Amino acid sequence: MKNVFKNFVLIFSVLVFCFLSVVVPKASTVNVVTKTSDKLLGNFIESAYNIFYNRESDLDGFTYWYEMLGSGKASAKYFIEKFVLESSEFSKTTKLKQDFVDKIYRFILGRETDEEGMEYWLNYIDSRILHYYKSEYPSNYTNSEILTLRWNINDSPKVIHDVVNKIISGGEFAIRISFMNIKLYKDDVILSTERSNPSSVYNSVTRNINYEDNSEAVLKAEKDADDLQKELSKRPGALSLKNKILKYLGNNINNVAVSFYDATTHEFFDINGDVLFKAGSTHKVPLNIVLYDLVQAGKIDLNDKVAYVHEKHYEGGAGVLQNSIVNNTLPPQKFSELSKRSLLNSDNIAANMLITGINQYTSLYREYGNILGYPLNRIGNMFSTNEMNMFLKKLYYNEKNNPYYKDIIEYLKKSSTGVRIGRYIPESIVANKYGAYQGNYHDIGIVFGDRPFILSIYTKDVADPETIISNIAKIVYER
């Protein structure tokens, strides 16, 4: 059926071309057809920037997509996926389900949503969220509670993918695409025509930024989810475990933070989970998550190298690279080697060089904020245990099937030394990262096995912090 429809679109395009060939004088046939399709294509690209990013396109970005789509190297489906599914800019400007539906309607169908259409798509989105993600939550969570917690559409990339594919497969969008003489799908065939100069098309497009401030609605959805999360954390199970740890901590309660997540029941709790600590080497886990996200996106090649600058990168303490420094110099290091050393040996120099390497392509803290869902306007290596658990959950679930995440986990497993989180737990199932800095002693990790869980523990100025960390992990493991 899909092939029949694709053939229909191709035949329709040919008929349009033939019609214009008849009604337009021969000498201007190519120019008229080309200019008509090019103007439509230009407006199509510009509207993507206007609608999805709430801004005008830049000439470089416009030219890139104009040439990719116009030449048939990229399809409309690929274009939309890049603009929506793989864009941090989209995730910042579009969070509410209603806003997402409205933007998809305006861009793909070229019109506003009606009440009936909005209701249909919101119900469809909710049904797909429950289909894909309900199993991640405790069985006693209601559908309404799950949907409240998962209010941000960007938390459900599989659902975004389903909605986009469902809408673009409709005939209305295919006909619009045919007038632009571009591919809908990568295997489609388009007419070979000479395209207009991208700069001239760029200067002629219609720009219409219709930005609607929904920040209050976003804040309300965030608050509703936070309030519900606090209420759910008091339910039996997580509450009982939390009380055991509180009893154990006693007078140390104000100097210890704990965040726990059960990967089987999806129960969770935290103690001082939002308090910021000097994270020490625990930050090397999110650092490498960002690195491998950029590798998967094709922005960084693991074989590329980072130059060593002694004044900027040297740091004593853990690591092996410091032993290779001669006269304040060190050969450039591959990203792959820096990643390995930063996790396997907790190498401080490797981590510092990774930070420099990543910041050449993007802002590291902006990428952290994209993962956490809010901007990190901080100075210094400051994180909370709740934030570390969010990074570890991303690593554990690996929803985008990043093939490099397994390397992070393996490095963490190999670096485990049977202390702290791993003292009373079989070493083979522990993937953890220890950190220490000026009275701050921490450990974060994933414990696999029959009842996997994620645990982050930060301490500051307590006596015998390693014993405290290992005993908390033991209480959790024996739950």
3-state SS track over 146-192: HHHHCCCHHHCHHHHHHHHHHHHCCHHHHHHHHHHCCCCCCCCCCCC
Count CB-CB contacts under 10 A for residue 417: 12
What stretches of 297-402 adopt beta strand conformation (E)?
A: 305-306, 333-334, 382-383
**Domain limits, the chain:** 2-204, 233-300+361-477
pTM score, whole prediction: 0.61
Distances (CA, A) of 145 to 138, 151, 404: 11, 10, 33
User: For tokens 């070979």, what's the residue?
Assistant: 192
CB 222 within 8 A of CB 452: no
Q: How far apart are the first and last CA of the chain?
A: 54
Q: Look at residues 465, 423, 413 and name the one whose alpha carbon lies nearest to residue 257.
A: 465
What stretches of 174-322 adopt beta strand conformation (E)?
A: 256-262, 268-271, 277-278, 305-306
Counting beta carbons within 10 angstroms of the beta carbon of residue 476, is it exposed (0 to 12), middle (13 to 18) or buried (19 or more)? buried
Structure tokens at 47: 């509207």
Domain at 233-300+361-477, CATH from 3.40.50.300, 3.30.70.100, 2.60.40.10, 3.40.710.10: 3.40.710.10
Structure tokens at 92: 């910042």
Residue 260 CA to residue 445 CA, distance in Å, equals 10
Helices (H) and strands (E) in the chain, counts: 21, 9
Residue 262 CA to residue 338 CA, distance in Å, equals 31
Q: Is 438 helix (H, G, I), strand (E, B) or coil?
A: coil
Distances (CA, A) of 288 to 219, 344, 350, 444: 30, 12, 11, 14
CA 134 to chain centre: 20
The pLDDT score that the predictor gives to residue 12 is 47
Per-residue pLDDT tens, the chain, 479 aa: give them: 545 444 544 444 444 444 434 333 333 333 333 578 899 999 999 999 999 999 999 999 999 999 999 999 999 999 998 888 888 888 888 999 999 999 999 888 888 888 999 999 999 999 999 999 988 787 778 999 999 999 999 989 999 999 998 988 878 888 888 899 999 999 998 887 888 999 999 998 888 787 778 889 999 999 999 999 888 877 767 778 999 999 999 999 999 999 999 998 888 899 999 999 999 999 999 999 999 999 999 999 999 999 999 999 999 888 789 888 999 999 999 999 999 999 999 999 999 999 999 999 999 999 999 999 888 888 889 999 999 999 999 999 999 999 999 999 999 999 877 789 999 999 999 999 999 999 999 999 999 999 999 999 999 999 999 999 999 999 999 98
CB 438 within 8 A of CB 278: yes
Name residues whose C-beta falls within 8 Å of residue 258's C-beta, 6 or more positions apart in sequence.
245, 269, 270, 271, 272, 273, 385, 455, 456, 457, 472
CA 257 to chain centre: 26
Most distant CA atoms of the chain, gap in Å: 90
The pLDDT score that the predictor gives to residue 3 is 52
Q: Look at residues 271, 254, 245 and name the one whose alpha carbon lies nearest to residue 473.
A: 245
